């Protein structure tokens, strides 16, 4: 039952691989292109652990490379695929949309094509347990008003090149179920946070800027609302959908935690003030700087998770207060990882994007 995890060196992917190797018995093959958002260091603890290293295979490669995908499927006898690999930063998609179309849409298409070819070579018993789980985002639904939540039946209304490319990949995955009988599942998650998240995203950027005494840039009035989900809860939800989900169905995954961006930033400031020492600027709230809003900035997201809870029995187990404290403390205790990311391997203003954080994080 070896599982192939695309994008497994990214934020959510590396957390998923770690949880899988702790909680499951089967082996994992990670396929990751190691772009700016993929970091092999996030997997190194697993490769050095006697209990996990023999069950983990890492392959540097691109999901657009059909020959590489074909080789991995056949060589490792893959029986499940969890597809995280994606370009996910909204600002980057505004500045350079082509790579988002290439990775999120074309890459998913090529992965599906090779999976379809491989699936039809399997024996009937293997076909019964084969799964292709596509990890997507709440951003495909567009923007909510002050009330209501996204349901699995909410019409898609993407507002950025990023969300449009993810919406297109969702449609492709769904089409391969109905047209070719490929056993697929789709999950749409809300904003993730936790260890190993890259510093262009809202929470880690704010933590690191607090530590460095740099401005904390907040888009617009800071009142954009997101539903926040601790990454470990997200990974557990994906494992639940793999085991129990109905083929061809989509499942919304959220944290039942709606918060305004400005409240997130102020919470981080208070925690950094509490746990960090020798801060350049204190209290950290002095660093908050309101900046011009970005184009097409969705006002509010909120996920209805009654389907995954009612049908599969999953619900988030980590409160935001617990999760954000764990997250801040992790970044404070792992400065070496952060320094490696921010000093060349990863750059917060790479490719000409703005220094403002994205409050939106899907599956990478």
Catalytic residues, by residue number, are 138-139, 162
Integer Cα distance of 272 and 285 in angstroms? 10
Look at phi and psi of residue 213 and say left if phi exceeds 0, alpha if psi is from -120 to 50, else beta: left
In terms of Cβ atoms closer than 10 Å to its own Cβ (0-12, 13-18, 19+), residue 10 is buried
CB atoms within 10 A of CB 278: 6
Tokens of 195: 């260890």
Q: Determine how β-strand 80-83 pairs with β-strand 131-137.
A: parallel
**Residues 6 or more apart from 336 whose CB is under 8 A from it?**
none
Q: How far is CA 341 from CA 39, 42, 99, 345, 356, in A?
A: 8, 11, 21, 5, 17
Integer Cα distance of 333 and 276 in angstroms? 10
Integer Cα distance of 43 and 49 in angstroms? 10
Measured in residues, the chain has a length of 364
């Amino acid at each position: 039952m070896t599982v192939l995890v695309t994008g497994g060196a990214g934020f959510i992917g590396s957390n998923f691989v770690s949880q899988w190797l702790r909680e499951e018995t089967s082996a994992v093959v990670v396929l990751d292109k190691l772009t700016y958002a993929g970091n092999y260091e996030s997997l190194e603890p697993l490769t050095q652990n006697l209990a996990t290293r023999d069950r983990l295979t890492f392959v540097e490669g691109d999901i657009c490379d059909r020959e590489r995908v074909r080789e991995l499927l056949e060589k490792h006898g893959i029986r499940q695929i969890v597809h995280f690999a994606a370009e996910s930063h909204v600002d980057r998609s505004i500045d350079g949309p082509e790579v988002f179309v290439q990775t999120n849409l074309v890459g998913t298409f090529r992965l599906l094509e090779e999976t379809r070819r491989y699936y039809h070579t399997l024996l009937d018993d293997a076909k019964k347990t084969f799964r292709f789980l596509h990890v997507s985002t709440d951003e495909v639904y567009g923007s909510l008003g002050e009330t209501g939540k996204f349901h699995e039946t909410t019409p898609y209304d993407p507002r950025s090149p990023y969300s449009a490319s993810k919406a297109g990949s969702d449609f492709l995955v769904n089409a391969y179920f109905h047209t070719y009988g490929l056993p697929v599942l789709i999950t749409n998650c809300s904003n993730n946070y936790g260890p190993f998240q890259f510093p262009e995203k809202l929470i880690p950027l704010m933590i690191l800027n607090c530590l460095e005494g740099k401005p904390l840039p907040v888009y617009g009035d800071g009142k954009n609302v997101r539903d926040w989900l601790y990454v470990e809860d997200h990974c557990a939800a994906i494992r639940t959908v793999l085991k129990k989900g109905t083929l061809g169905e989509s499942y919304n995954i959220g944290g039942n935690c709606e918060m305004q961006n400005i409240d997130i930033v102020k919470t981080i400031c208070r925690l950094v003030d509490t746990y960090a020492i020798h801060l350049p600027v204190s209290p950290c709230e002095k660093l908050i700087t309101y900046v011009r809003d970005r184009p097409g900035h969705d006002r509010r997201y909120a996920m209805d998770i009654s389907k995954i809870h009612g049908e599969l029995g999953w619900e988030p187990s980590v409160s935001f207060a617990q999760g954000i404290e764990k997250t801040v403390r992790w970044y404070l205790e792992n400065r070496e990882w952060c320094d490696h990311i921010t000093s060349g391997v990863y750059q917060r203003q790479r490719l000409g994007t703005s220094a403002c954080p994205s409050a939106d994080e899907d599956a990478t």
